[in-house]
Structure 1
Amino acid sequence: MGCSDKCYFRTGCPQNPKEGALHLVGQVIRTSDIEKNRGRHQAWMDYVDYFDREGRIEANFSQSIKPYITMLAKRFTTIEIEHVAKFRRFYAIRIYELLMQYRKTGWRNIKIEDFRDILQIQKGQYPRFAELRRRVIEPAVKEINDKSEYLVEWEKVMDGRTVKGLAFKFSEKQQMELSLNS
């Protein structure tokens, strides 16, 4: 779908477009520039009109967000929706996306503070690494290994006794050959 000033969406709930419109207009996109140590929150819709009887909404992207939308295909990793649709955990989806940015190399190293920021883990949430590992990393990696075409391994990157980062290694799972002669 090309992006024009007005885009049309189906709300997943056509009998209640008013609720869908309210949800869309309240969404915020958070961007960050890690090198400059700054972030930005911005609304992604200028307005959302709803049409009760037609079961549809009409939305207008905000001017500040349009460059991001038009540059998506050029600047971001594309992932087939059927690959991430299998995941139930938000963190599994985000980690999968992070890894797919490096699918050509099969490895990804990331600073722990960047990892928390990208996964949108709030300050004070999982303050100890053991909690982060048990509640975020291990369940997400297990789900990726169980439900995707990739096998993921990870390890801590330490500086003395402090975890400074994570190192992920991943590769496509090998398919077993089926013998046609039984």
Structure 2
Amino acid sequence: MFKITNLLVGDSLIETKQVEFKVNDLIIQSNDLIEAYYDNELTTLEHKFIRYVASKIKKNDSQFPDYTITVKEFAEVMNVKGNNYHSQVKELADDLTRKRIKIRSSNDKMGWFPWFSAIIYDNGTVHVSFNPIIKDYLISLDSRFTGYSFDDIKKLKSGYTVRVYELLKQYEKIGKRTIELDELKRMIGVGDKYPVYGNFKQRILNVAKKELEATGELYFSFKEVKQGRKTVAIDFNIHKKSPKQQTPLSKEAQEFIESVKKSLYIHGIAISDKKILSWKKYGIELILEVLEEIKHRDIENYENYISKVLKSKYENKDVDPDIGKEENTSKEVIDDINEIDESLLNLARQNIVAKYAPGKELIPDYFLEKEVIPFFMKFMNVSEKVASELWEKYKTIIMYQIKTKKDEQLQKRYNR
């Protein structure tokens, strides 16, 4: 699914990775980045573009890749209407490379940085390079971060709402947040644009409140904090939306969802609360076990994949594959296995590895078993019982060979 291309800019050769068109990827930012000051007001399109590219950062990335996004993908993801989106992309590329953020760290360090070192439009394709200086605010985050899905902001029409959403999402678990008015203006990027509070309230706070109530997965109410007659801060009360006609979740269920979400965020995975709750019967230990198993895999649909693996592991958790094996394996079956030509068996295994190594996802052994046993029966002309015993005998080594081959192919693809 990834295509490596090379783009010559001046005397530098930029390697670019074509990202897969998928909008439910997780955006993870350090809290310092969430609370950054925006030197300039960003358009809604610019806010979404930054976050869409950020959602493509993988958990195991140690450096920023340089991404390539087609204009068609850009138009679909950003919900751009009309026929002039090529012009909009060019304008966005020109503007965003000149807009800065001011990041303040907990150790009192402060810096002013552009988001991107380069955005290049080339015949219907956008090549994007994040500024490497902000790497520590987007990559390898183990604590003090905020995560959400791009789908959570995709439908928002105001860039102000995107920023208000992020600032409130950071405090979602606490349920309230107070921000000084001047501080909030700097975080949103409006500066002195609305010196009269009434205008700021009408154009930003009320718009964000209405939008999030209509389309967001959280919403808020607020009240002004005043000194005399002057508004100096905003008290936000943050509310989480629950599915309609759903019984309020128990404290135990809420704690389970939050625990799983935290582990998913660490792995860069976004899953809906409803789906996470459906996993409760499997237990947190089994979920953590599955997440550990898949942490180095590049999977197309995490929600479906994890659900299938959990179900299979849960249904087979009390089954010991070695119990009764000797009693159930007759002498006739053992003799049939011993009579199989070793070179034929090796050829059969090579065929299986060659067939199932391509692709990004590692197929679980319990899915592969349904394909391999009939293949063994046909290829080596053996009974189903013999084929099943062969699978049990060579399953571990076959799965290892498939994984090794898959890793080699992915490495070659990235190095191309």
- Compute the TM-score of the two structures, normalised by the length of structure 2: 0.36
Larger radius of gyration: 2
Matched, 1:163 2:259: no
**Deviations for 1:76-134, whole angstroms, at most 9, x for unmatched residues?**
311111111121011111111111111111111111111111111122x1111111111
Counterparts in 2 of 1:45 and 1:87: CA distance versus 1, 3 Å: closer
> Counterpart amino acid of 2:241?
K
Relative to structure 1, the CA distance from residue 67 to residue 100 in structure 2 (aligned partners, 3 Å threshold; closer, same or farther) is same
1:81 maps to amino acid? F
Equivalent positions of 1:1-182 (< 5 A) are: 1=58, 2-4=61-63, 6-12=65-71, 19=90, 22-23=93-94, 26-33=97-104, 40-47=111-118, 52=123, 55-56=124-125, 58-71=127-140, 74-123=143-192, 125-177=193-245
- More divergent stretch after superposition (24-33 vs 167-176): 24-33
Does the CA-based 8 Å contact 1:152-1:170 persist in structure 2? Answer: yes
User: SS at the partner of 1:104?
Assistant: coil
Q: Percent identity?
A: 22
The two structures, once aligned, show a CA RMSD in angstroms of 3.5
CA distance in 2, matches of 1:21, 1:127: 27
Distance 2:91 2:194 in 1: 32
Q: Any idea what SS the aligned residue of 1:132 has?
A: helix
Deviation of 1:67 after TM superposition, in Å, equals: 2.4
Pair 12,173 (structure 1): closer, same or farther in 2 beyond 3 Å: same
- More moved, 90-99 vs 69-78: 69-78
Aligned residues of 2:212 and 2:219 also touching (Cα < 8 A):
yes
Higher relative contact order, chain-length normalized (CA < 8 Å, sep 6+): 1
- 1:29 deviates by 3.5
Q: Tell me the CA shift for residue 69 of structure 1.
A: 2.9
In structure 2, the gaps of 5 or more residues are 1-57, 74-84, 247-416
Q: Distance in 1 between matches of 2:95 and 2:140?
A: 21
1:75 deviation in Å?
Answer: 3.6
Task: Name the SS of the counterpart of 1:10 in structure 2.
Answer: strand
How far apart, in 1, do the equivalents of 2:159 and 2:70 lie?
21
Q: Which runs of 5+ in 1 are unaligned?
A: none
Q: CA deviation at 1:172?
A: 2.0
Residues 105 and 45 (structure 1), Cα distance of their counterparts in 2 relative to 1, 3 Å cut: closer
- Structure holding more strand per residue: 1
Q: Normalising by structure 1, what TM-score?
A: 0.76
SS in 1 for 2:133: coil
Deviation at 1:65, TM superposition (A): 2.5
Give the 3 Å change call, closer, same or farther, for CA 73–162 of structure 1 in structure 2: same
CA contact (8 A) 1:156 1:167 kept: yes
> 2:128, 2:69 → 1: CA distance?
10
Q: 1:39 to 1:131 in 2, by over 3 A?
A: farther
In the alignment, residue 109 of structure 1 is paired with which amino acid? T
Higher helix share: 2
| Cα separation, 2, equivalents of 1:100 and 1:157 | 21
1:135–1:5: structure 2 CA closer, same or farther, 3 Å change rule? closer
Change (3 A) 1:36 1:115: farther
After superposition, give the CA deviation of every residue in 1:17-67 in whole Å (9 maximum; x if it has no partner).
Answer: x94895487243312439999964323444456654xx5455544442222
User: Quick one: distance in 1 between partners of 2:236 and 2:126?
Assistant: 41
